[in-house]
Amino acid sequence: MSAPVLADWLAAAEKVLAELANSCLAFDGVERTGHRTELPRTLPGAYVPLVTPAGSLQVGIAAEIEQCRALARALLCMEPEEELAPADVADALGEIVNILAGGLKARMVESAPSISLGLPIFINGAIEPTDKLEFAISEMRIGPIPASLVLVQHKQGA
Amino acid sequence: MKILIVDDSKAMRSIVLRALRQAGFGGHSFAEASNGAEALAAIEADCPDLVLADWNMPEMSGVELLQALRERGNEVTFGFITSESTAEIRELALKSGAAFLITKPFNAETLQKTLAGVIV
């Protein structure tokens, strides 16, 4: 079995995100509205590393801060008007991505064995693109919330 | 019963607590820890009856916590609530002495079924 390419990971991540949206966010699924290969430079988001023998991959969800807050509120079953501190938004979005990464690992383990999960980080700024990084991004609507499903991989041999 | 919830995410600790209450276990006593090292100290100080721990955490992971407890002769009932769900992880959890592993996302019904014979 050949090693999965970034597009395989992204397709699997979309499926896991749909399951996650239906279960712990209580939304009616997700919709893909487009694809990108470059991340908007200042979009905040949470990322979890998946480390395989072939290299490392970051999976993340990035969105405008108000959309990050809305996703955090959905996870915590909060009302839209309830206040949520920035650290709690980062923590909750990190947990959403942690669950996403765990589901992705389970879905990909047969074609990419020995995957290890890292810990989530929240980036409120830009991931500087370099010629060593490859991005695959699906523009999604998670329930009513627009967000980017982001995969970042070090290019093979880079 | 005294139940210790161990997760580095404050959001997930509150979700676990809410789900335990929804599952009918709200009458018990709950405490929280944010990583394995903090939990180890809390377990030695407070002797909980049940530990519900995440797997991946900073400082000391959930499985490292479990292994440290068993090495010290502590046989507290221990279960994982984690996004990890592969056969390899389940096998390591059970081999290390865990009573169960619940995969995130989970709901109150899952907790109710899994913990019915554990929380009395």
Contact A118 B56 (CB under 8 A): yes
Q: Using the beta-carbon criterion (under 8 Å), do B105 and A118 form an inter-chain contact?
A: no
Note whether A109 contacts B: Cβ–Cβ < 8 A.
yes
What is the average per-residue pLDDT within A101-117? Answer: 93
CA–CA separation, B110 and B15 (whole Å) = 13
User: Tokens representing A86?
Assistant: 């920035």
Mean pLDDT over all residues of chain A? 92
Task: Enumerate residues 6+ apart whose C-beta is below 8 A from A29.
Answer: A18, A21, A22, A143
CA separation for the pair A81, A60 (Å, rounded): 26
- How confident is the model at residue A22, as a pLDDT? 95
From CA A85, how far away is CA A101, in angstroms rounded? 24
Of residues B8, B13, B9, B20, the one with CA closest to residue B115? B20
Of A49, A1, A105, nearest to B103 by C-alpha is: A105
- Could you tell me the pLDDT band of residue A112, with boundaries at 50, 70 and 90? confident
> Hey, which residues 30-59 in chain A have their CB within 8 Å of chain B?
none
User: CB B9 to CB A77 under 8 A?
Assistant: no
- The number of CA neighbours under 13 Å toward the Cβ of A117 is 33
With a cut of 90, say whether residue A38 has pLDDT above it: no
Closest to B83 (Cβ–Cβ): which among A23, A102, A109?
Answer: A102
Give this prediction's pTM.
Answer: 0.95
**B60-66: Cβ within 8 A, 24+ apart:** B60/B35, B60/B36, B61/B36, B62/B6, B62/B36, B63/B92, B63/B93, B63/B96, B64/B36, B65/B6, B65/B36, B65/B37, B65/B39, B65/B40, B66/B93, B66/B96, B66/B97, B66/B98
Pick from A95, A105, A117: CB nearest B9 = A95
Question: Beta strand B50-53 with B77-82: parallel, antiparallel or unpaired?
Answer: parallel
Task: Give me the pLDDT at residue A158, please.
Answer: 56
- A92 vs chain B: nearest CA distance in angstroms? 5
* Closest C-alpha to B82, from B111, B55, B113: B55
Mean pLDDT of A75-91: 95
Q: Do A24 and B84 touch (CB under 8 A)?
A: no
Q: State the pLDDT confidence band at A52, using cuts at 50, 70 and 90.
A: confident
DSSP assignment, residue A2?
Answer: P
- Answer whether A102 touches B (CB < 8 Å): yes
- Is the ipTM higher than 0.90? The answer is yes
Instruction: Answer whether A91 touches B (CB < 8 Å).
Output: yes
Quote the minimal CA–CA distance from B53 to chain A in Å: 14
Q: Which residues does chain A have within 8 Å of residue B18's beta carbon, measured at their own beta carbons? A: 77
pLDDT given at position A25: 95
Answer whether A123 touches B (CB < 8 Å): no
Chain A / chain B CB contacts < 8 angstroms: 55
Q: Is the pLDDT of residue B24 over 90?
A: yes
Instruction: Specify the 3-state DSSP secondary structure of A101.
Output: helix
Please give the Cα distance from B83 to B105 (Å, whole number). 7
b/e code A18-30 from CB counts within 10 Å (16+ = b): bbbbeebbebeeb
